[in-house]
Structure 1
Amino acid sequence: MTHSVAFQLADEAATVAMGNRLASLIEQGAVIYLHGDLGAGKTTLTRGIVQGLGHQGKVKSPTYTLVEPYQLACHSIFHFDLYRLGDPEELEYMGIRDYFSPQAICVVEWPEKGGEFIPTPDLDITLSYQGDARRILINSLSERGNIITTALNSA
């Protein structure tokens, strides 16, 4: 059974805070898909997740490199941005499957461009504009995802 939760995010700080909240609920690895128009807050949410897991530096969008790795004491985090991907098969050449271990946290922007080369996510997140604010819809697609969405819903 899947769960869905939705929240209003008033501004960039609220988006980062939601990422921090998600990070606090990830007990092991996770695959997180991020959907939304350009500028909807996908990288901002990712910054909140990565910093919430302990990263101290900048979090930049890997638009040109496809993946930005963050090796932390307790976590391996991989931030993918597939926006400029020409063909999903390119992912096979870069060894995409090696990134998705059960312990890794993989955040994927523009996952629809990855085709069958990326695994089904634990969380499928859509960010959308609501005037000056954003709406975040979080769908769980696995038992890991259900645990996270249930905790978000009860907080």
Structure 2
Amino acid sequence: MIRLADAAASEALGARLAAVARPGDVIALSGQLGAGKTSIARGLLAALGLEEEAPSPSFAIVQPYGPPETRFPVLHVDLYRIESPHEVDELGLDDARYDSLLVVEWPERLPASAWHDALWLGLTIEPDGARGLTAQVPAAWKDRWPLT
């Protein structure tokens, strides 16, 4: 487990991911409410050039970003309000994977097979308020994972 002391550490992790992420990648962010998923996404988006603070896509479900706002297309996805995997079909995420980075909060709302090649980051809230981070690093990320 990797310790993230505060929101700034979570955002810094997002910035490190931005340095190695590319279109076609999926970063799955899993953890309870308030665990820091959006902080990681905000750090990543800021490092990709987004000047304003990224809103949580909880109500929009998908928040798209693209040049010139960000270096390349990114879809920030929040599946918290998804009740059925069939609802996701309408979002067009499979097609978006060809040219966009997908940053997906609440990925467990879909079967694990939907994210077979995702960098899966799990976050927990520790007793002292820090965040604990675990990572499932797929083959496509082995040479790029910035925390080895």
Match of 1:48 among 43, 57, 74: 43
**Residues 95-110 of structure 1 aligned to structure 2 (within 5 Å):** 95-101=92-98, 103-110=99-106
Deviation at 1:114, TM superposition (A): 2.4
Q: CA deviation at 1:96?
A: 2.7
Question: Deviation at 1:117?
Answer: 8.2
CA distance in 2, matches of 1:26, 1:116: 21
Gaps of 5+ in 2: none
Contact 2:23 2:73 in 1 (8 A): no
The DSSP-based 3-state class of the residue aligned with 1:79 is strand
- TM-score relative to the length of structure 1: 0.85
Q: Secondary structure at the match of 1:90?
A: helix
Asked if 1:25 is matched to 2:41, the reply is no
* 1:59 has 2:81 as partner: no
Q: Residue 139 of structure 1: CA displacement?
A: 1.7
Q: Which residue, 83, 93, 100 being the options, matches 1:86?
A: 83
Q: Does residue 138 of structure 1 match 2:135?
A: yes
Structure 1 vs Structure 2 CA RMSD:
1.8
Q: What residue number does 1:13 align with?
A: 8
Q: Conserved in 1, the CA contact under 8 Å of 2:124 and 2:132?
A: yes
User: CA offsets per residue over residues 60-99 of structure 1, 9 Å max, x none?
Assistant: 1111111000113431000110000011101112323222
| Number of the residue aligned with 1:152 | 147
The Cα shift of 1:27 comes to 4.5
Distance 2:97 2:76 in 1: 11
Task: Say whether the 8 Å CA contact 1:16–1:44 is kept in structure 2.
Answer: yes
The TM-score, its normalising length taken from structure 2, stands at 0.88
Matched residue of 2:9: which SS?
A: helix
Tell me the residue number matched to 1:115: 111
**Could you say which structure has the higher helix fraction?**
1
In the TM superposition, 1:63-78 aligns within 5 A as 63-73=58-68, 74-78=71-75
Q: Which has the higher strand share?
A: 1
CA shift, 1:28, in A, is: 4.6
**Greater alpha carbon shift after TM alignment, 111-120 vs 132-141:** 111-120
> How high is the sequence identity, in percent, across the aligned residues?
34
Number of corresponding residues: 145
Residues of 2 paired with 1:116 and 1:138: CA distance?
15
**8 Å contact kept, 1:70–1:76:** yes
SS at match of 1:25: coil
